[in-house]
Chains A and B, each alone.
Chain A
Amino acid sequence: MGIGSSAGKDSISYLPTLIEQTQEAEYEYIVVNNLFDRMGSSALIAQDGWKLIEIDRKKNYFQLYNIHDDNEERIELSSQYPEITSRLKAALYWELDSARPDL
C-alpha cells in the first residue's frame, strides 16, 4: 500500500519470501505469551524449528522439540540438547519478564 513500516521492536514483512526474493530480515525466534496451562503454556519457536514449551515454570519443567522434523511434537529433546534448551529458556524469559512483554 506504499506505507513504510514503523521502527522499533516490530513485525517483519515476509513480502520478499512471497515474491521469491532473498528474505534478509528474519526473526531469531517468535514468542507465544500464553496465559493458559492445560497442555503446556508459553512457547518460543526459533529458526531451524527448535521449539521450547514452558510446561510448569515453578517446577522448572520445559520441553524441547524440533517442529521441522517432528511437527507432531512426539520426540522430546531437552535432555539430548541441554544447551539449546537453556539458551531458549533464557530468551523466553527475557521476553516474558520484560516490562512490556507485549512489545
Chain B
Amino acid sequence: MGWDFHEGYYDHQRAHGFYPPYLWLNGKRFELEGNNDPNCGKMSEKGDEPVGSGGQTYSQNVFIEGILAYIRRHAASVQSGQKDKPFFLYHSTQLPHGPVAIPGLYPDFADLPELSLAEKKYASMVKMLDDHGGLIMAELKNLGIDDNTIVFFTSDNGHELYYGPKPSYHSQTLPIGEKANLTDKKWCSSEAGDVFDGAGGRAGLKCSGYQGGMQCPMIFRWPGRIAPGTQTNHLSAHYDFMATLS
C-alpha cells in the first residue's frame, strides 16, 4: 500500500509548533517562508504570546492548500482518464492542538472582552478547523463528487487545555478554592472556569480516566448510505478505523 502523496511533518515533536522552518513533500524537504525557529514556533503552555508570533507561514495554511490542490488534481486525472481509482485523503490536522498559535484572530472573537488572549487564539484555531472542513466540502461539491465521497471527522483524545484553568486541573482545585475530589466534586470543564466547557460537562481532561479525557466525537457523512442525523451506541475505539476502512 503506502501513500502516493505526502505533505507534512515526520515527527510529533516538531508538529507541536505551527511555524516549522521546513516540512516534507513526497520525501523532499521544502522551506516555509519567514519561519526561522528550530522549535517550529512552539508556544508556551500559557498561550499568551502575541497573535502571529512564531513565524510567518502557518502550517495549516500550507496543508489546506495542498489538500485542495490534491483533490483537484485527482479529479482532473479521473476526468481525463489517467486514473480510475478513488482517493483516500487523511488530514491529521494540528488544529486545535496546543500550545495555541494562530496567524490572526477571527473577528467573531477578536473584540470579546470576556475572553483572554489565549482563549481568543484557541477559539480562532477551532474556527479555522471548522472553516477548513468547509473548504474541503466546498471543493468536493464544486467538483461534483461530494455525493460519492465519504467524509469523516474525529479527534484523537478528549479535551485538553492550553488556555484558562489548566493550573487548577494540575492542582485539582475548584474555582472557589476548594479542593476537588473524585466523588462529588470532580474537576470538570463545565465547573472549573473553562469558558468553552471543552469536555461538555464531563470530568477530567486528556490522560484522565474519565470521559472528559477519552470520549471522542466521530462524524461520518456518506450521502445515500447514512441517513442524516443517525446515531449509534456501537462501542469502538480508533484502532477500529483501519479495519472499517479496509
Which residue in chain B gives the minimum CB-CB distance to A36? B207
B246 x A67 contact (CB < 8 A): no
The A-B contact count (CB < 8 A) is 113
B235 x A63 contact (CB < 8 A): no
B182 x A40 contact (CB < 8 A): yes
Which residue in chain A gives the minimum CB-CB distance to B152? A18
A17 x B213 contact (CB < 8 A): no
Minimum C-beta distance from B120 to chain A (A): 27
A72 x B203 contact (CB < 8 A): yes
A18 x B203 contact (CB < 8 A): no
Partner of B225, one of A2, A19, A39, A49: A19
B186 x A14 contact (CB < 8 A): no
Complex Cα spacing A2 to B88, Å: 13
The answer to whether A86 has its CB under 8 Å from any CB of chain B is no
Number of interface residues of A (CB under 8 A): 46
The answer to whether B243 has its CB under 8 Å from any CB of chain A is yes
Interface size bucket, B side? 35 or more
Which residue in chain A gives the minimum CB-CB distance to B150? A18
The answer to whether B188 has its CB under 8 Å from any CB of chain A is yes
Which residue in chain B gives the minimum CB-CB distance to A25? B243
| Closest 8 pairs between A and B when the two form their complex, measured CB to CB | A40-B209, A39-B208, A36-B207, A11-B243, A13-B243, A53-B209, A3-B246, A39-B204
Residues of A within 8 A of B (CB): 1-5, 10-15, 17-20, 23, 26-27, 29-30, 32, 34, 36-43, 45-47, 49, 51, 53-55, 63, 67-68, 71-74, 76
Give 23 A-B contacts (CB < 8 Å), ordered by A residue: A13-B240, A13-B243, A17-B234, A19-B225, A20-B226, A20-B227, A23-B234, A30-B235, A32-B209, A38-B169, A38-B172, A38-B207, A39-B172, A39-B213, A40-B204, A41-B209, A42-B209, A43-B209, A54-B209, A68-B233, A72-B188, A74-B186, A76-B183
Residues of B within 8 A of A (CB): 1, 88, 169-170, 172, 182-183, 186-188, 201-205, 207-211, 213-215, 220, 222, 225-227, 230, 232-237, 239-246
